[in-house]
């Protein structure tokens, strides 16, 4: 089958399954819930859906910690439910892209469990395991990870450490291992053969690590990042994935490539290089922080925002293709961030103005669930209203180090990822039409002001 450019004519809708629609009243969104909203998606006019991870997982990072790539997380449903959804989406003219989380697995993945419990395990080489310095007293390097703190965790009862760029429940896979890569290719084909239309590849630009393991220069966040952001073999791995997994399917491959620049973006997306179709880069959403770290809050400046967007519009004009987005499950809601929610009237103008602006750029637009309703941020300063592993780590660090507290304390809740993860507001009932029971995360208290039916009515009367 030929690899075509259908993504260039697509509008892609991101579903965060946990928060979209709960069909069976357990407070957690699920696949049958998604199926029940296919007509809504069709009405909205999108022709592709990107599903955040639905694989089996202990949910330490809401599915970005996969323990079984070949099964569905039971509270979301079964493989039959997934196939039913895929068929019904296709029948409605909507393609389906899955999340592909292969920088790391869950620490509950059988490969990892075997790797750390058995020194002769064939799976030891699937992960990045090294002796600690000073007989295990110190980790192999001084690197620090995306959620703060050391990237190394000591393996209980040994002098060895494993690498994790995210939480300690998410050990990094070793892409320098060929048997490991072969397993990933096999898994990708399993889903493509089932009829899945592509992947959004989670943090794919950090899969190659400089395995000389040198210490990084002093830095507040992500110390040693040169060793793993767009590491030494990154483009080789992208081309290998294309050649062995994607080439023979008419699929779309999007890479999440945090902390890249325009020249990296060109390398990833130049059509003739055969790596990725599009990337998600965050320079524009990082307008209101320092160094690409969302917790280092900085005042939003429209001029900087426009410059950063323009940079990629011009930078990829002759090669490649842009993804257009201003929200996702890691980015708080856009209307109060880049516009204003000061009054219902301004909120309405702001959300429509933002939509118009980014839809008119060159690239493929993405809508994050609830964005079409102008859903807003939580606004609570109570830790009990939040659950995200990233925020919990930041909160812990701020409690321990007064300097970090001074840097991030004031805006910690406002910038946190749960702002984008509150249940979808289908109507103004108690649980917003998301569920009949209390949802896993509190419904946004502004629920009376936002709801899908009212917005659709608005739309019909235009």
**Which residues of the chain form contacts with ligand TEU (CB under 6 A)?**
61, 64, 101, 146, 166, 202-203, 256, 258, 282, 286, 294, 329-330
Query: Smaller CB distance to ligand TEU: residue 61 or 327?
Result: 61
Q: Return the number of the residue (30 or 288) whose C-beta is nearest Ca ion.
A: 30
Least distance CB 22 / Ca ion (angstroms) = 4
The DSSP-derived string for 51-65 is EPP-EE---TTTTSS
Name which of Ca ion, ligand TEU, none residue 146 binds, using a CB cut-off of 5 to 8 Å depending on partner kind.
ligand TEU
Order of strands, sheet of 129-131, starting from the edge strand that comes earlier in the sequence: 129-131, 160-163, 152-154
Contact call for residue 30 and Ca ion (CB under 5 A): yes
22 binds, among ligand TEU, Ca ion, none (CB under 5 to 8 A by kind): Ca ion
Residue 403, Cβ density class (10 Å: 0-12 exposed, 13-18 middle, ≥19 buried)? exposed
Interacting partner of 394 out of ligand TEU, Ca ion, none (Cβ under 5 to 8 A depending on kind): none
Sorted by sequence, the CB contacts under 8 Å of residue 409 that are 6+ apart come out as 398
Instruction: By CB under 5 A, tell whether 436 contacts Ca ion.
Output: no
Active-site pick, 256, 327, 388, 418: 256
84 catalytically annotated: no
Q: Are strands 129-131 and 160-163 parallel, antiparallel or unpaired?
A: antiparallel
The entry of Ca ion, ligand TEU, none near residue 28 (CB within 5 to 8 angstroms by kind) is: Ca ion
Which option in Ca ion, ligand TEU, none does residue 26 bind, with CB closer than 5 to 8 A by kind?
Answer: Ca ion
| Least CB distance to ligand TEU at residue 101 (A) | 6
Under rule CB under 5 A, residue 81 binds Ca ion: no
| Phi/psi-derived region of residue 433, left when phi > 0, alpha when psi is between -120 and 50, beta in every other case | left
Length of the chain: 462
Question: Quick one: tokens of 325?
Answer: 């987005």
Number of residues that bind Ca ion (CB under 5 A): 5
- Residue 108 appears among annotated catalytic residues: no
The catalytic position among 81, 153, 169, 202 is 202
- What mask of x and - would describe binding to Ca ion in positions 5 to 24, judged by CB under 5 A? -----------------x-x
Distance in angstroms (rounded) separating the CA atoms of residues 86 and 379: 36
User: Residue 228: which of 239, 212, 249 has the closest Cα?
Assistant: 212
Minimum distance of Ca ion from residue 32's CB (angstroms) = 8
- Which region, left, alpha or beta, applies to residue 367 given φ > 0 means left and ψ of -120 to 50 means alpha? beta
Q: Which of the listed partners (ligand TEU, Ca ion, none) does 355 bind, with a CB threshold of 5 to 8 Å by partner kind?
A: none
Give min distance, CB of 89 to Ca ion, in A.
Answer: 19
Q: Which two tokens stand for residue 152?
A: 């190394």
Q: Which of 383, 308, 375, 366 is nearest to 348 (CA)?
A: 375
Asked if 288 interacts with Ca ion (CB under 5 A), we say no
Residue pair 17/54 in contact by the 8 Å Cβ criterion: yes
CB of 29 to Ca ion, least distance (A): 6
3-state secondary structure at position 262: helix
Does 26 contact Ca ion by CB under 5 A?
A: yes
Which residue, 197 or 330, has its beta carbon nearer to ligand TEU?
Answer: 330
For residue 280, the cross-strand partners are 256
21 neighbors 38 (Cβ within 8 angstroms): no
User: Is the Cβ of residue 23 or residue 419 nearer to ligand TEU in the bound state?
Assistant: 419
Least Å from the CB of residue 287 to Ca ion: 36
User: Do residues 368 and 51 touch, judged by C-beta distance below 8 A?
Assistant: no
Which residues does the annotation mark as catalytic?
202, 256
Query: Residues in the site for Ca ion, rule: CB under 5 A?
Result: 22, 24, 26, 28, 30
């Amino acid at each position: 089958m030929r690899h075509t450019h259908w993504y260039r004519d697509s509008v892609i809708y991101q579903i965060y399954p946990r928060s979209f629609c709960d069909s069976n009243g357990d407070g957690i969104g699920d696949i049958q819930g998604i199926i029940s909203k296919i007509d809504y998606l069709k009405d909205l006019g999108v022709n592709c859906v990107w599903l955040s991870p639905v694989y089996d997982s202990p949910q330490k990072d809401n599915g970005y910690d996969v323990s079984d790539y070949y099964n569905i997380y039971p509270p979301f449903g079964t493989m039959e439910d997934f196939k039913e959804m895929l068929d019904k989406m296709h029948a409605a003219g909507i393609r389906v892209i899955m999340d592909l989380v292969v920088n790391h697995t869950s620490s509950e993945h059988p490969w990892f469990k075997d790797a750390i419990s058995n020194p002769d395990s064939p799976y030891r080489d699937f992960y990045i395991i090294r002796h600690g310095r000073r007989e295990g007293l110190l980790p192999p390097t001084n690197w620090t990870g995306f959620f703060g703190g050391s990237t190394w965790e000591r393996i209980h009862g040994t002098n060895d450490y494993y690498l994790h760029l995210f939480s300690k429940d998410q050990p990094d896979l070793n892409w320098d291992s060929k048997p490991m890569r072969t397993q990933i290719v096999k898994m990708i084909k399993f889903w493509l053969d089932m009829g899945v239309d592509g992947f959004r590849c989670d943090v794919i630009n950090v899969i190659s690590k400089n395995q000389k393991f040198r210490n990084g220069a002093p830095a507040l966040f992500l110390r040693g990042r040169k060793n793993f952001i767009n590491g030494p073999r990154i483009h080789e791995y992208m081309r290998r994935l294309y050649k062995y997994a994607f080439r023979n399917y008419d699929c779309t491959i999007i890479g999440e490539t945090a902390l890249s620049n325009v020249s990296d973006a060109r390398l990833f997306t130049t059509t003739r290089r055969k790596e990725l179709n599009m990337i998600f880069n965050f320079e524009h959403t990082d307008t209101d922080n320092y160094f690409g770290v969302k917790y280092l809050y900085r005042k939003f400046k429209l001029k900087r925002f426009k410059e950063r967007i323009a940079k990629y519009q011009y930078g990829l004009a002759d090669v490649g293709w842009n993804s257009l987005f201003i929200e996702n499950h890691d980015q708080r809601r856009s209307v109060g961030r880049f516009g204003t929610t000061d009054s219902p009237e301004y909120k309405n103008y702001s959300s429509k103005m933002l939509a118009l602006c980014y839809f008119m750029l060159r690239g493929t637009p993405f809508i994050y669930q609830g964005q079409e309703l102008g859903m807003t941020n939580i606004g609570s300063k109570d830790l009990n209203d939040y659950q995200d592993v990233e925020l919990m780590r930041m909160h812990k660090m701020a409690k321990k180090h007064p300097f970090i507290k001074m840097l991030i304390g004031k805006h910690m809740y406002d910038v946190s990822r749960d702002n984008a993860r509150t249940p979808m507001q289908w109507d103004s009932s108690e649980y917003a039409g998301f569920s009949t029971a209390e949802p896993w995360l509190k419904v946004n208290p502004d629920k009376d002001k936002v709801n899908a039916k009212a917005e659709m009515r608005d739309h019909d009367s235009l």
